[in-house]
Amino acid sequence: MKKLIIENSGEVNHEEGLSIFDIISDKDKQTAKKAILAEIELKDGSKKLVDLTFKVNDDLKMKLLFPEDAESLDTLNHSTSHIMAAAIKKIYPEAKFAIGPSIKDGFYYDFELDKVISPENLKPIEDEMKKIISSNYSFIRKEITKNEAKKIFKDNPYKLELIDGINDEYVSIYETGDFIDLCSGPHIISTSKVGAFKLLSVAGAYWRGNENNKMLIRIYGTAFFNKEDLKNYLERIERAKLSDHRKIGKDLELYSFHDEAPGFPFWHPKGMIIRNIIIDYWRKIHQENGYQEIQTPVILSNQLWHTSGHWDHYKENMYFVKIDGNDYAIKPMNCPGAILVYKSKQHSYREFPIRYAELGLVHRHEKSGVLHGLFRVRNFTQDDAHIFALDEQLTAEITSIINMIGKMYSIFGFKDYHVELSTRPADRIGSDEMWDMAEQKLEEAIKENNLVYKINPGDGAFYGPKIDFHIKDSLERTWQCATIQLDFAMPEKFDITYMGEDNLKHRPVMLHRVILGSVERFIGILIENYSGNLPLWIAPVQIAILPISDKYQQYSDNVFKKLKEEGYRVEIDNRVESLNKKIRQAELSKIPLMVIIGEKEQESGTITIRKKAGGDIKNIEIKEFINILRENIENKKTYFE
């Protein structure tokens, strides 16, 4: 008999060779029915997700995962991509399939087909998927040799290429009804686990993302365990369309994009107001926390990027230029420049920690197909900081950064965020000992600050592990913005030192961190979070003065002048239009406050305030209004009260 230890559920003795599902069913049929997959502990202590059909031949520790677990929803979406491929194969037998992964909020599958697939073609595919789901087909995993796999997929060049790229002698395939796919899994136990799904769109995608390869058809979809979750998700999508920062940015004349510079944003006057408000607040917080601001060149010698490791690990995303016959690169990151500032003089242990902050303009070559408004651009401003510290100062510095992150997010209206510890990637620099130490230090800091976190294996920077902060917006979407990266490797590569108390040279530790991430992207997130209705302190136009008719023009001009003198961003609508039309225009312009001026206001020397969020304040004196404005803006309130 073998022993299966189930987290939070005790031990089960079982015969060798039974599946996890069979073992759990013998103990508790209801639990087995609810479970989606299992996380098993391997002999080296690492964790692995497996199907419930996984055969248990040894003593094993594991954790069951249920619909509420994020990994379960990812698996459901991955499995639904297979169901979609099976449906496409039924309708279009000549289709050749490439890859079909789960992605954030859904899945896609790429395939080659000598036909045009339009949105109208999605309905028949959905209907065929429903038949497959109701048939309750099992996802059957089989391990076969690569040669056997090549025979199965002999007519599919994409699968053959994938098989050749697998180092192991054996590969895994999954059978779902009469559909067979090359896949490492895991999958749901049967198609009936799909409670609800929707195919969302059709697009083109180059094989392996390389524009020199064949263009394939890509169908996107999403799946959930129940219809209510799907309904809520589709409603969020509709709300997101109305909040699209690209449309709002254009409508409000904040920024624009032009064919003469694809992927490079042009900031308009109102957009610059938002940028400068955010940057002014950023500077204030950094000064309060002991940072010194620096600025480093946009263009630096290629040799520097060889030393930093970016040449070997990042050059495909970089732009290059020749100056006086020598090779230079436009910086994709700010860290080497900060290191050169540090190296410009000898430092003593008494100076630490040294905190350099930089609003650094960086350039990264993004493929045209992934450019997306302010969310994916080719140049952006990172709110960077590089901290040089002693080992014993690390926890305090990381704690200080965590507190800054929490404060800044809260000010901008993001109260909810979660944390991930991203560990060493396969493509990295530095010794394993360095990585062990860096990962341990970050994990200790997370625990000391009582943060709930999860491990994101293999997603660290090439020079060090990192803590990533994911904020949640009003549409329940998450955005990775802030990051804290701990780096023992770069100080080694650049040979940076300080004089210790013993008068000998020592190596400092380096922290890389951003809070907003990219100023451009953060503005895009802000716009979508508020659907363009930015808080009063950020709004490019704070107040619109709306005289009911030109009889009240002089009084309106006086009110305008007083508010302008107090430093408020105010506009006056002198058009010969009805008040309703003026109000409508101010609402479309996302102006938080409207000052209505008519006969009563002029006679009493007061104003009426109309809040875009709803509600009026009548017969208020201008002085009192200014006091309310001042208190609201100084406290950076999310909503005008």
Residues labelled catalytic: 335, 364, 382, 384, 386, 466, 512
Distance in angstroms (rounded) separating the CA atoms of residues 199 and 222: 7
Helix then strand then coil, in percent of the chain rounded to 5, is 40, 30, 30
The phi-psi region of residue 102 (left if phi > 0; otherwise alpha if psi is between -120 and 50; otherwise beta) is beta
Sign of torsion over alpha carbons 546, 547, 553, 556 = negative
Q: CA 344 → CA 187, 307, 338, 339, distances in Å? A: 55, 17, 10, 9
Q: What are phi and psi of 17, to 5 degrees?
A: 90, 0
Q: Would you call 129 helix, strand, or coil by DSSP?
A: helix
Distance in angstroms (rounded) separating the CA atoms of residues 464 and 421: 11
Q: Which residues contact 486 (CB under 8 A, 6 or more apart)?
A: 394, 398, 438, 441, 442, 464, 465, 466, 509, 510, 511
Helices (H) and strands (E) in the chain, counts: 20, 35
Task: Answer for the pair 48, 165: CB distance below 8 angstroms, yes or no.
Answer: no
Q: Which residues contact 548 (CB under 8 A, 6 or more apart)?
A: 579, 596, 597, 598, 599
The phi-psi region of residue 481 (left if phi > 0; otherwise alpha if psi is between -120 and 50; otherwise beta) is alpha
Q: Would you call 350 helix, strand, or coil by DSSP?
A: helix
| Helices assigned H by DSSP within 40-175 | 70-91, 122-134, 146-152, 157-164
Distance in angstroms (rounded) separating the CA atoms of residues 250 and 254: 6
- Pairing, β 326-330 against β 466-472: unpaired
- Give the closest residue to 339 by CA, choosing from 380, 363, 310, 313: 310
Helical pair 269-288 and 394-411, crossing angle rounded to 10 deg: 140
DSSP per-residue string spanning 211-243: TTS-EEEEEEEEEESSHHHHHHHHHHHHHHHHT
